[in-house]
Amino acid sequence: MTAAFYKNKDKFYIAVDCIIMGFQDNELNILIAKRPFEPMKGGWSLMGGFVNEFESINDAAKRVVGEFTGIDDIYMEQVGAFGELDRDLERVISIAYYALVDIEKFDTTLAVKYDARWVKITQLPELIFDHSLMVKNTLNLLQRRAAVKPIGFNLLQEQFTLPTLQSLYESIYQEDIDKRNFRKKILSMDILEKLDEKDKSSSRKGAFYYRFIKEKYDQLIQQGLHFSI
């Protein structure tokens, strides 16, 4: 047999649908848009696009997130492939990726261009096709990942306060965390650097800024230890 072996096989459109997450007002937000074309025109949808012949699926996802946010150094991970029959008019198999972005870097002119907006994860409307399922699976995956890898920092600016970091994890796990226990744990890993500057925007006392130091994290791993929240 030769390449002709493939000839009688079916071919499919492949979409990438991206769960683009940002952190705003102490909550995870997801970028969604009104779908501009049929089918399901006008329905709320994740940001998506089609895979092109000469790009990998990972590259396609990176491209799509770049198109819709203007950001291109992005932490992404695949959620999985979704391929039920009734997903679309034409058969489309979709591969979902979540992306963690610093919402401050978001190019807001693109929100206008694509009729997109950031919506709190707790207040998402019903999304088209299986997009709601994709979000559900993403949150699941994110909860497992964020517990053992320092990926949460991708959602924050370089400098952040511990109260902010804590509320990020509270939003990811959707449950309250004890302030003392949280600080004890994150600081004991010695992967953060305390800065002299304070953020005074949310209290009179002000909260000190910290930075995540990747080198210190790498050291931790080299010692056979693990990140864990």
Partner DNA sequence: GAAAATAAGTGTTTACTTTACACTTCTATT
Partner DNA sequence: AATAGAAGTGTAAAGTAAACACTTATTTTC
Alpha-carbon distances of 208 from 200, 205, 217, rounded to whole Å: 9, 10, 20
Which residue lies nearer to DNA by CB, 80 or 206? 206
* Residue 11 near its own copies by CB under 8 A: yes
* Residue 224 near its own copies by CB under 8 A: no
* Residue 143 near DNA by CB under 7 A: no
Which residue lies nearer to its own copies by CB, 53 or 196? 53
Shortest approach of its own copies to residue 135 CB, angstroms? 17
Q: List residues bridging with 33 in a β-sheet.
A: 45, 116
* Residue 216 near DNA by CB under 7 A: no
> For 216, phi and psi rounded to 5 degrees?
-70, -35
* Residue 171 near DNA by CB under 7 A: no
* Residue 200 near DNA by CB under 7 A: yes
Stretch that binds its own copies, among 62-70, 73-81, 156-164, 180-188 (CB under 8 A): 73-81
Produce one character per residue of 23-48: b if its CB has 16 or more CB atoms within 10 Å, e if not. Answer: beeebbbbbbbebeeeeeeebbbbbb
CB under 5 to 8 A by kind: which of its own copies, DNA, none does 171 bind? none
Nearest one of 124, 133, 116, 137 to 64, comparing CA atoms: 116
Count of residues touching DNA (by CB under 7 A): 20
User: How many angstroms separate the first and last alpha carbons of the chain?
Assistant: 53
* Residue 202 near DNA by CB under 7 A: yes
Site for DNA in 173-192 (CB under 7 A): 178-181, 183-185
Burial class (CB in 10 A: 0-12, 13-18, 19+), 196: exposed
Q: List residues bridging with 78 in a β-sheet.
A: 97
* Residue 175 near its own copies by CB under 8 A: no
Q: Which of 34, 72, 73, 80 binds its own copies (CB under 8 A)?
A: 80
Nearest one of 92, 132, 118, 95 to 21, comparing CA atoms: 118
Give the binding site for DNA (CB under 7 A): 161-163, 178-181, 183-185, 198, 200, 202-208, 228
